[in-house]
Structure 1
Amino acid sequence: MSNSAYEAPAIELRIPSRDAVLYGDLLLPPTFEALVLFAHGSGSGRHSARNRQVARRLQHASIATLLLDLLTAGEEQADLQTGEYRFDIERLTLRLQDATLWAASQAQLQHAAMGYFGASTGSAAALIAAARLGNGILAVVSRGGRPDLAGNAVLDAITAPTLLIVGGADHGVVEINEEAHRRLRCKKSLAIVPGATHLFGEAGALDQVAELAAAWFSTYLTRLKHAP
């Protein structure tokens, strides 16, 4: 059965992370060389229809995906009332790092080249974790992200090829991503989806995101892994 016709069943995981247990959904195509971990901020997680649409496209490109809830259920509830966790980038980053190290220790995943797909504030966590883990992360894609929250030192230091995707009508966030793109010293690209707003809810907008992400990861995770 070809991967293009295959819908991977989700394997629910519980991943230890310091003082928390993270829930994740792991989806494995029949064959894969790469694993992409999804990082989200408050209000979005492993059950997000948007993230799952992108994950399905990656699976069809023979890329495994791990969709994570970086906040616990209690933290999500508290954040709805107080907003105290949505910009806690360090908390999100440490948990993403823990999930990455856990995945790298699993027999079925340890051969896979790893990348990050970050959305909103989760993009900042993905960039910081990629900078900290160095050669452990080979590619990053940011959707509607806040790379400014990662800080200039991280943007200067990151080495993983990085694709920034932003909606053309996501005013303010476009300018943030343009400035981050100028700052990055790694292989990089900025893709602006015309007419799309922050959640890419417009017809065909998320399809473009998924195609862009699949092409980026296919280039820098699968092909690059075998380069001399």
Structure 2
Amino acid sequence: MSRYQIRFQTREHAGAELASALHAYRATGALVLAIPRGGVPVGSVVAHALGADFDLLMALRIDAGVALDDTGKTWRTNGAEADCRAGSLCDPHFDQLCRQRAVYTPVRKPADPGGRVVIVVDDGLVSGATMHAALASLRKRHPARLVCALPIATRTGLDHVRALADEIVCLDMPDRIDNLARFYHEFQLVSDDRVRRLIGMASTRSQASVMGAAASVPALSKVMLIPCGTTPLRAILESAPNPIGVAVMVHAGDAQRRAARSQYLARKLRAKGLATMLVDLQPDSRVDNALDSALDDLAARLDQTLSFLHDSTPFAGLPAGLLCAGNTAAPAFRSAESHSSQLRAVACVAGRVDLADSAVLKGLGIPTLLLCASGAPESIRIHHLAIEQMNCPRQLRLVPARDCGFDDREALAEIATLTGDWFERHLAKLTRPRLGYWE
């Protein structure tokens, strides 16, 4: 088994690593086919990195060791074919596949794999039934070369599909997978809307390629380390091609509690066309916030983070917005002053704005959004005092919530909407039109 319990941060991260393993197929005119729905975010990143065409390959597991292809035929992992299109078991599943194809690509025919290098991608393989049906169906359409590409798969599952592929590329092969989600830090259900967006985004890229227009900022899903004294800071960068800007999301401590909330907000910001960069400024702390005495240290780490963004990422030329929380508010306001040429907007969620010096608040020169829980009267009072001292364009918005934890899903959705609109308003007008992103 892999030495990593969590092998990938997201499906996009898995796609980026898989694309590196498939670099030999870059710019070869290959066709990447993803199995919906989980394989689509992986395949989208692979196709973009390889400069390949991208489409869907419909297949569906209907029973143990049995799966249905997009022609209505069923295949068993032992290699036998059983055509049961008229059977009671297959009919509803085939109808489901047809409906999905109509929803995902309503205005065009599936790509023709004949005579092409075809790379079939999914987010993982356990029994191998679905991939077996997909590859067996493709074999009948005479591809020049058929590649099965997976971030993770069981050895037994790969044995069931090995004879159908000319090449298998797999990044990790544990002996057993009880739950594929355990190998991903984030493994949420991929919605139909997200599949449609990714397919539409791939079509836009293909049209741009035909016109000779390359993306000036590539798609990215990467974990990087920011040099910072004896404790490097871990940064998670994710982006679609040509984002409108980058949202730098910082907090201090208690990363486990904040992880799901931060990933949710990051997904929503990327849906607005933004790149995201998530950083814990105090990774060695298990408390919810840094101590007041650590503010100078947090400010230095945030300055280092912004310098790293400018010097060591593809986002150097993009306008940046800063999303902070808790005790990172005061350091964020300081950085907004010293990095005014780089930062274009700030959003602060339940921030300790009372820790910011009056001179710093008065010196803020970029649009600032403060978000506060409607059920926290003392926090509201403190935020009103901060707003009165600011001279920059600013807003204070109250989010329906009982306290500043914002653990409620509806409160998080409201925060995502407000911050996304704020950054879109103040960053998008400074750069190129966006192509879109996954939810």
Q: TM-score per shorter chain, which class?
A: 0.7 to 0.9
What is the Cα deviation at residue 220 of structure 1? Answer: 0.7
When the two structures are aligned, how many residues end up with a matched partner? Answer: 219
The answer as to whether partners of 1:131 and 1:158 remain within 8 angstroms in 2 is yes
Normalising by structure 1, we get a TM-score of 0.86
Q: Distance in 1 between matches of 2:244 and 2:400?
A: 32
- Indicate the larger mover: 45-54 or 31-40: 45-54
Matches within 5 A, 1:160-175: 160-175=366-381
* Aligned residue number for residue 15 of structure 1: 226
Q: Distance in 2 between matches of 1:39 and 1:140?
A: 11
* Aligned residue number for residue 279 of structure 2: 68
Q: Distance in 1 between matches of 2:321 and 2:300?
A: 16
Amino-acid identity (%): 25
Q: Distance in 1 between matches of 2:416 and 2:225?
A: 26
Structure 1 residues 46 and 225, CA, compared in 2 at 3 Å: closer, same or farther? farther
- SS state at 1:105 partner: helix
Normalising by structure 2, we get a TM-score of 0.47
- SS state at 1:218 partner: helix
Q: Are 1:223 and 2:429 counterparts?
A: yes
- Indicate the larger mover: 212-221 or 100-109: 100-109
* Aligned residue number for residue 40 of structure 1: 251
Q: Distance in 2 between matches of 1:22 and 1:154?
A: 25
Q: Are 1:100 and 2:306 counterparts?
A: yes
Matches within 5 A, 1:78-117: 85-87=290-292, 88-106=294-312, 108-117=314-323
* Aligned residue number for residue 30 of structure 1: 241
The answer as to whether partners of 1:24 and 1:46 remain within 8 angstroms in 2 is no
Q: Distance in 2 between matches of 1:24 and 1:146?
A: 23
Larger Rg: 2
- SS state at 2:225 partner: strand
Q: Are 1:158 and 2:370 counterparts?
A: no
Q: Distance in 2 between matches of 1:191 and 1:39?
A: 20
Q: Distance in 1 between matches of 2:397 and 2:430?
A: 21
Q: Distance in 2 between matches of 1:196 and 1:114?
A: 31
Deviations 1:127-158 (A, max 9, x none): 11111222221100000111121211110111
Q: Structure 2 unaligned segments of length 5 or more: list them.
A: 1-43, 45-192, 199-218, 433-439
* Aligned residue number for residue 147 of structure 1: 353
What is the Cα deviation at residue 9 of structure 1? Answer: 7.2
Structure 1 residues 107 and 9, CA, compared in 2 at 3 Å: closer, same or farther? closer
* Aligned residue number for residue 335 of structure 2: 129
Structure 1 residues 15 and 45, CA, compared in 2 at 3 Å: closer, same or farther? farther
Q: Structure 1 unaligned segments of length 5 or more: list them.
A: none
* Aligned residue number for residue 397 of structure 2: 191
- SS state at 2:336 partner: helix
Please tell me the root mean square deviation across aligned C-alpha atoms, in Å.
Answer: 2.5
What is the Cα deviation at residue 46 of structure 1? Answer: 9.7
* Aligned residue number for residue 52 of structure 1: 263
Structure 1 residues 28 and 115, CA, compared in 2 at 3 Å: closer, same or farther? same
What is the Cα deviation at residue 169 of structure 1? Answer: 0.9
What is the Cα deviation at residue 20 of structure 1? Answer: 3.0
Structure 1 residues 132 and 218, CA, compared in 2 at 3 Å: closer, same or farther? same
What is the Cα deviation at residue 10 of structure 1? Answer: 4.2
Letter of the 1:86 partner, please give it.
L
- Indicate the larger mover: 196-205 or 125-134: 196-205
Letter of the 1:92 partner, please give it.
L
- SS state at 1:48 partner: helix
- Indicate the larger mover: 85-94 or 133-142: 85-94
Structure 1 residues 203 and 30, CA, compared in 2 at 3 Å: closer, same or farther? same
Deviations 1:175-207 (A, max 9, x none): 111111111110100000133421112341110
